[in-house]
Chains A and B, each alone.
Chain A
Amino acid sequence: MDGDSSTTDASQLGMTGEYMASSHYVLHPQDDDGEENMNDHEDSGTKENYREQDIYLPIANVARIMKNAVPQTGKIAKDAKECVQECVSEFISFITSEASERCHQEKRKTINGEDILFAMSTLGFDMYVDPLKLYLQKFREAMKGEKGMPGVAVGESLGEDLTDDGFANPLPAGIITADGQQQNVMVYTTTAYPQVQPPVVI
């Protein structure tokens, strides 16, 4: 058997498929959930649902959000954190494939904000839509106010991505010259990489 102590493979358990069909069970030889490595998907082929993506968001970030969500005195078990980490990837894929489908139906290639919001509504996350619209508004305003190019990072993790995706909409770029004057230049791009103007220095 593999290093992973759990299996849902009927043949390994010496059982016929019938016993497993009614519900999913994962067996543990001992009552120690902390040992379970939820990130180990090397044997994912033995699980009933084979998932290709093993990409997760960092557990520290996920754990922090969880901690802030539950009451102050509450605690979170390690396996719960790892589990939510996986759920998150599932959620993102869930939304993305729904949004992607709609996008294709409308003969578009780029998934936009509307597709995402629509997907949320369709999939039962309607309650997120209004708060998200507000956040998006704030985000857009903040981006407009940022001096420099749209490729400049608003948060450090934002910057690296903005240069990769094609921008669906032209964005105004504020360029501050050395004497403090602000010029506004429209940056249009039709290629995968935005054409960015360097700041003018006098």
Chain B
Amino acid sequence: MSQTNSGKDSQASEAKKAISLPISRVRLIMKSSPDVSSINQDALFLTTKATELFVQHLALTSFNNRSQTEANTLNYSDLAKTAEESDTFHFLTDILPKKILAQDYLKTLEQMQDEDSDF
């Protein structure tokens, strides 16, 4: 019988190409959650695919939202800003603290201390 699998092979290779993240690593991360015993194949695939969508979504949203529009570069601060302003990405605020320069912080601190000393 001649190879009738060529159509299915291209479907399979499409499925291969459709995933650009290592599923084994995704599984490892999922397993590190407490009380997770086993994960079915579908769940693993869906999570991996969803993660890809998430990266695209976060990157594009942050890029479009960026504070320095002329620079054309996506920075850490753009991501932190998006996490704070967006409902969807708000769960990231704990791991995306806003960064400020030490000198700015110390300046703010001084101002606060000055205000206190006024009392």
State which residues 99-121 of A face B: CB under 8 Å. 99-100, 104, 109-113, 115-117, 120
- B28 contacts A131, CB within 8 Å? no
- A94 contacts B25, CB within 8 Å? no
- For B7, the closest partner residue in chain A by CB is A145
**Total A-B pairs, Cβ < 8 A:** 270
- B47 contacts A92, CB within 8 Å? yes
A48 to B58, CA, bound (A): 24
Interface string of A123-134 (1 = CB under 8 A from B): 111001001100
- B75 contacts A142, CB within 8 Å? no
Minimal beta-carbon separation of B35 from chain A (angstroms):
6
Q: How many residues of B contact A (CB 8 A)?
A: 79
Indicate if A193 sits at the interface (CB-CB under 8 A).
Answer: no
Q: A8-B97, A181-B1 are in contact. Are A77 and B74 (CB under 8 A)?
A: yes
State which residues 1-19 of B face A: CB under 8 Å. 1-3, 5, 7-9, 11-12, 14-16, 18-19
**Among the listed B11, B30, B56, which residue makes an inter-chain contact with A138, where contact means beta carbons less than 8 Å apart?**
B11
- A25 contacts B98, CB within 8 Å? yes
Residues of B within 8 A of A (CB): 1-3, 5, 7-9, 11-12, 14-16, 18-30, 32-47, 49-60, 62-63, 72-76, 78-79, 87-88, 91-102, 105, 109, 112
- Which 7 A-B pairs have CB atoms at the shortest separation, nearest pair first? A145-B8, A113-B42, A24-B97, A142-B15, A69-B56, A180-B1, A66-B59
